[in-house]
Amino acid sequence: MDNTSLFHEDWVILTKFLPHNWQDKAQELGALIRKRKIDNAETLLRVLLMYLADGKSFRTTSAYAQKAGLCDINDTSLINRLRLAKDWLHWIAQQLLKRLNSNPLPEQAFKKFNIRLVDGSVVNEPGATGSSWRIHYSLRLSDLHCDTFRITTPKTGESLQLYPVAKGDLLIGDRYYCRRKGIAHVLENQGHVLVRFHSTSLPLFNRRSKPISVLSLLRSLPDGIPGDWDVWFKAPDTDSLIKGRLCALRKTKEAIEVSKKKLRRYASRQCVKLRPETLEYAEYFIKFTTLNRHNFKVEELLNLYRGHWQIELIFKRLKSIVGIGHLPTQNEASSISWLYGKMVIALLTECLYQEAEFFSRGGIQSDPLYIEDNYDISKGNRSLYREYEFGHMAVKQAIIPNLSILHCLQHWTRIKKRLMENSRRRLLQTKIYLYSYA
């Protein structure tokens, strides 16, 4: 079997993970209204995923797609195709998550609150632009709908103040969102928060305005039993006390070692000295919330954040591939479609990862050619990040068609013409450098 057949087979295998009727949904949801240049859903999805998976520009992607024999489409048309595919990519991501989600959140939780996941990531564009952006987005957990998407410079930090809040909203975020001004903003608009606790950004007090020693509370926790305490913090403007809850659970010994190892590695790379308190905080799951116990018990809150229904999948997997690429900043619809497409890539990688785990345990084959029965994985520590990174490379390899070097050499003149910059008044970067050194 030649390489071309193998690459085509990889793409066919990858499409098996897609939801049922995904091709029919392209026309139904408005992604394939016009069939000029691209006449089927499979080609459309593959070209869009090429752009999203590899982080190249629209022009480079369209040129590669043309030389690979997929379609002959220019960069402007590709941008419009991405914008029109917003609802389609959203539906695919939603269906993929349902397939992966073996422990969904009870429906009653969605009846009480509009649960939203908030996050931010820096996007570094490669190539001549070299631009950096910070995207701030909010995903509605019930259907993965992106209800907020903002693009700022990297100087704008992550804050809950950047998000519109309505009555009944529950915003879930990382420790960077554990700040007094942001939490006060959510409460002023009759919403609630559930965030990882940050001891420096959120000093806590008792009802008499005396500081609380959080570590003293944590040390009293027995193994396997969560703690739940009423705490207060001071409003940023008036210093009046605002009530909340501190929920915590001591980690297992293995998880503690992993957390401390990550902290020490980070401190070593950044050339900073770790405080003893920081290492002690790493021994616990600690969350701060403004929800009362009538709505959520402590076990429910901890399960809500720890990812029994794929919160960690959404954040960690998405953040690992969202940080590079050319972000379409022309309009909000294109940017949101870009985010949905990145989610599809992340979820397809997760599907492949889970299939590989099942496959390696003998779920499909028992042939030693396919299963490494003689490999003792207990001899070392697994690197989940590298495993997922490897899976992402495999998914990207399946998406991007193979283009031989000989073909590129034979058609290089046409490829150069396809990649040429449009005429513009300012000098090209290379010419500026030449003139400066003359």
**Per-residue CA distances from 256 to 2, 217, 304, 346, 400 (Å):** 49, 18, 20, 27, 40
Considering the domain boundaries, does residue 63 fall inside one? yes
Which of 122-126, 317-321, 332-336, 428-432 has the weakest average pLDDT? 428-432
Containing domain of residue 9, as a range?
A: 3-90+330-405
Q: Categorize the per-residue pLDDT at 434 as very low, low, confident or very high, splitting at 50, 70 and 90.
A: very low
**Predicted pLDDT at 386:** 80
Average pLDDT, whole number, for the chain? 82
DSSP string across 302-353: HHHHHTTTSHHIIIIIHHHHHTBS----S-HHHHHHHHHHHHHHHHHHHHHH
Closest CA to 149 of 347, 341, 338: 338
125 pLDDT more than 60: yes
Q: Categorize the per-residue pLDDT at 431 as very low, low, confident or very high, splitting at 50, 70 and 90.
A: very low
Over residues 222-236, the pLDDT tens digits come to: 888 899 999 999 999
220 pLDDT more than 60: yes
pTM: 0.80
Phi, psi of 340 (to 5 degrees): -60, -40
Considering the domain boundaries, does residue 162 fall inside one? no
Average pLDDT over every residue of 179-208:
94
Over residues 7-53, the pLDDT tens digits come to: 578 899 999 999 999 999 999 999 998 888 898 999 999 999 999 88
Over residues 65-112, the pLDDT tens digits come to: 999 889 999 998 999 999 999 999 999 998 988 887 655 666 666 778
Contacts 24+ apart (CB under 8 A), 363-372: none
- Tokens found for residue 433: 């450098």
**Per-residue CA distances from 368 to 374, 379, 387, 391 (Å):** 9, 20, 21, 21
Residues 6+ apart with CB under 8 A from 182: 159, 160, 161, 193
Q: Categorize the per-residue pLDDT at 356 as very low, low, confident or very high, splitting at 50, 70 and 90.
A: confident
Percent of the chain with pLDDT over 90: 39
331 pLDDT more than 80: no
**Predicted pLDDT at 171:** 94
**Per-residue CA distances from 231 to 116, 212, 242, 285, 298 (Å):** 24, 8, 8, 17, 14
Considering the domain boundaries, does residue 217 fall inside one? no
6 pLDDT more than 60: no
Of residues 171 and 386, more confidently modeled: 171
365 pLDDT more than 50: no
Percent of the chain with pLDDT over 70: 80
**Predicted pLDDT at 205:** 95
End-to-end, the C-alpha distance of the chain in Å comes to 54
Helix (H) or strand (E) holding 147, with range, is strand 145-152
Considering the domain boundaries, does residue 33 fall inside one? yes
Answer for the pair 393, 349: CB distance below 8 angstroms, yes or no: no
Considering the domain boundaries, does residue 48 fall inside one? yes
Considering the domain boundaries, does residue 352 fall inside one? yes
Considering the domain boundaries, does residue 369 fall inside one? yes
Considering the domain boundaries, does residue 248 fall inside one? no
How many domains are contained in the chain?
1
